Structure 1
């Protein structure tokens, strides 16, 4: 008997009297010690299929078919039965850790709640187990993190905490919804090794992802979903080695490729830093005496020309985002920063505000960075209300500029009055890019802009960013843990580790002839994730 059996699953949502079906007759099984992957683009029905297994879709959903855990029917099961199964027998790792973790509770309290509820562990016993779990998922110095709140962790660290919470009760089935999306390649490799070890304990794993390299590595079987249906399923080696469906072939061929256009020899320097340092004081006692520093960035030096991309890579917590925020003077720093030849530290508040139009940022989470109460047009035009129309656009309406920017990012003008929740992840990221681009900036900071996107959408966003860079001569600071995307986007690359720049140079040199052991380890980890499964 299979541990989890899904047969002819159908899911529909009722809204304003209308029933919209989003999953059509999905069937699959998960056995003990087996990993089954659900793959497909955003909106294909992967996540709602997983959530339906333990009735987490809410009252608006109408679920049909059968979902059995160890022979027990879960669809229509009493609430008491579902409470026992959830978190104990079947655990979830959700895609977005910041919305899944309580911002008001420390890590120790959140992990401790689960241990107390399901295992009766409290006090020193619970603390020892929490430290063990945090160590297992790759959190450095876990004892010092017990009192931390979610906002004090990087995105990758928050995801690792979510994984620790899911593993706390040693469930029979682990359902992982994009669990490695925010993780750098080395930590990703650690998490995948951990999940592989769990398989050896007879745990069943249902793995939802858009990263086919990971599927190749860990999945025994794969179900390819499109428009709420499984269009192809079977052993991973067979499906990937000889795909039968056009959509499967499209997914397998969706890899960022090509290189950015060369930088003009006379391109001016847009941004440069000299021995930039960002240290955060550690204060203790009633008088808040400084007893040490968190050395987030140590003496980083760099330069970026017009039309050039500097890729910044490294593990979570290495200082990548902190460096970028310091360069834009969004956080304090020491050392030299020059923007278009001007000393940034010398700017007054008024001058800095005026210069903000020239330096824009696109954040990692396109949903969290867009106001749910504003329409697409209002979001894109917001900067115009603060900074005014860009040079040469005087006398034009904001709506006309928004319409032209939608054309630039390849979104329909008819979408202007829709809200963020009405767009896919890739479309929301295009809106975020349009919001930054409408001010005609000289510099664009891109903080993990493709990490949460499907492979096919990643390719589209990379192509879009390269086209905009070539057209407008933009300088990019491109922060990412995805080395395939970094290579497709970057002219130069800087590798960071624990606040230090360990290697920097041209993209070609760094990928072909890495000099430091750390860079070599990063590249090996990326190749392992991408190719190990192909040799299985």
Structure 2
């Protein structure tokens, strides 16, 4: 059989410590291997090792073969020459794959012209058709910062896919997408497979793993603990951890108990509307959020969910209507959990120093922060790193701990667990709910996962109905 990607006894080491160890697998042409596992288990490190993109001081051992041509894993430079043409990576954070200074259509077209060698006059048309195929025709002339998280994810996929590399590593391709957009990405992946593309898909989305089929492997603490046909592993897992992982999928969570809202209001929203140019996001939104209440904000990608939350926080101004906080609240009483956790930290300051600065500025209790980090199963040593040196899931939990340390009256949680595996996601939501109920605060929640809304929210605001 012709193997598109072969990995043999690959390890990633930091000094003498193995962060990823003894990884071996093969993916045939047109095949797929899906990796499941908790945040920090080594999935993204494995992807970077295969790409030959490990930062110093990490090093790797073993063999990586692309299209039957083996290279020592340590020889990263030889794989750099294959980027885009033979081997491609769609990173977990979509903004890392996009040029912030270039319009969407131009950077997708640039991939067609420079990597796939498509004539420039054809590349533009190909880019426009690709955008339209994923419902992004209106985004062609926008810059990446003007896109929602879900839109940026789809644009990044198109930019990565444009050159047609036969092996693609995809890190969380469906995170932050609603059901319709998730289905579109699935169909695009299936079409690419039908044309012979081989996929290594890293995901926490069990639905996607089931739909892709092929092979599936589960990682824990840097090792593959279970591997086999996806249908067999998902139907009858052998390992206790795999069974726990599948049982923690939000589809298995119990429905929320609908209680009676407490008296008073944390915030009142009256007739709020917002548009960007001719694009109207929403109009006439009214809401009363009471202490102890969890309100979900729903709507398709690009409907203005993040913008609405930013208006409630005072980070953006509405075009019409107004937002009133309850009297007596401190300026820091409203806090945000960012959809992109990397945007919440200074990139060149170590995490410990960022958190120390917060504790000293607001005279907070460092020991309480340590307790929150321990509750979320985060090793203290992670704080010695820069933000880009931890996984997206780890950074998301650190950002959450920082917000909870402030004991806010209202949390705007914008896809707060999108980088987390089901087990960790369940634990984090338990902590969020505990905070809301214990502090008599409130939470405004953005998520595309209807099962999470069903399980945790008291009610929802549907922005698709107020345009």
Which residues of 2 match residues 328-477 of structure 1 at below 5 A?
Answer: 328-333=313-318, 334-340=320-326, 355-372=330-347, 373=349, 375-376=351-352, 378-379=354-355, 382=358, 385=361, 398=363, 401-407=365-371, 410=375, 415=380, 418-419=384-385, 421=387, 425-477=392-444
1:233 pairs with 2:210: no
For residues 381 and 210 of structure 1, do their structure 2 counterparts lie closer, same or farther at Cα, with a shift above 3 Å needed?
A: same
In the other structure, the counterpart of 2:127 is: 130
Which residues of 2 match residues 73-92 of structure 1 at below 5 A?
Answer: 73-75=70-72, 82-92=79-89
Contact 1:55 1:75 in 2 (8 A): no
1:220-278: CA deviation from partner (whole Å, max 9, x where unpaired): 11011122221111111111111111221121111342355654554212222222111
Contact 1:108 1:147 in 2 (8 A): yes
The one of 252, 262, 267 equivalent to 2:263 is 267
- Structure 1: any 5+ residue segments left out of the alignment? 283-292, 343-350, 389-397, 503-536
For residues 384 and 324 of structure 1, do their structure 2 counterparts lie closer, same or farther at Cα, with a shift above 3 Å needed?
A: farther
Moved more, 59-68 or 132-141: 59-68
1:306-355: CA deviation from partner (whole Å, max 9, x where unpaired): 10111011221101111111122221111132322x6xxxxxxxx9xx74
Aligned counterparts of 1:212 and 1:466: Cα–Cα separation in 2: 24
1:24-64: CA deviation from partner (whole Å, max 9, x where unpaired): 22111111222211111122222222233342225644333
Aligned counterparts of 1:73 and 1:358: Cα–Cα separation in 2: 56
Aligned counterparts of 1:265 and 1:146: Cα–Cα separation in 2: 44
SS in 2 for 1:367: helix
In the other structure, the counterpart of 1:522 is: none
Shift of 1:188: 0.9
* Aligned alpha-carbon RMSD (Å): 2.8
For residues 383 and 109 of structure 1, do their structure 2 counterparts lie closer, same or farther at Cα, with a shift above 3 Å needed?
A: farther
- Structure 2: any 5+ residue segments left out of the alignment? none
Aligned counterparts of 1:369 and 1:149: Cα–Cα separation in 2: 21
Aligned counterparts of 2:306 and 2:165: Cα–Cα separation in 1: 35
SS in 2 for 1:85: coil
1:484 pairs with 2:451: yes
1:33 pairs with 2:18: no
In the other structure, the counterpart of 1:501 is: 466
Shift of 1:148: 2.2
For residues 440 and 203 of structure 1, do their structure 2 counterparts lie closer, same or farther at Cα, with a shift above 3 Å needed?
A: closer
Aligned counterparts of 2:164 and 2:351: Cα–Cα separation in 1: 44
For residues 326 and 265 of structure 1, do their structure 2 counterparts lie closer, same or farther at Cα, with a shift above 3 Å needed?
A: closer
In the other structure, the counterpart of 1:11 is: 11
Shift of 1:449: 0.5
In the other structure, the counterpart of 2:217 is: 223
Which residues of 2 match residues 511-522 of structure 1 at below 5 A?
Answer: none
For residues 74 and 370 of structure 1, do their structure 2 counterparts lie closer, same or farther at Cα, with a shift above 3 Å needed?
A: same
Shift of 1:459: 0.4
For residues 214 and 94 of structure 1, do their structure 2 counterparts lie closer, same or farther at Cα, with a shift above 3 Å needed?
A: same
1:43 pairs with 2:40: yes
For residues 53 and 413 of structure 1, do their structure 2 counterparts lie closer, same or farther at Cα, with a shift above 3 Å needed?
A: closer
Contact 2:12 2:60 in 1 (8 A): yes
1:324 pairs with 2:309: yes
In the other structure, the counterpart of 1:513 is: none
Shift of 1:5: 4.1
Larger Rg: 1
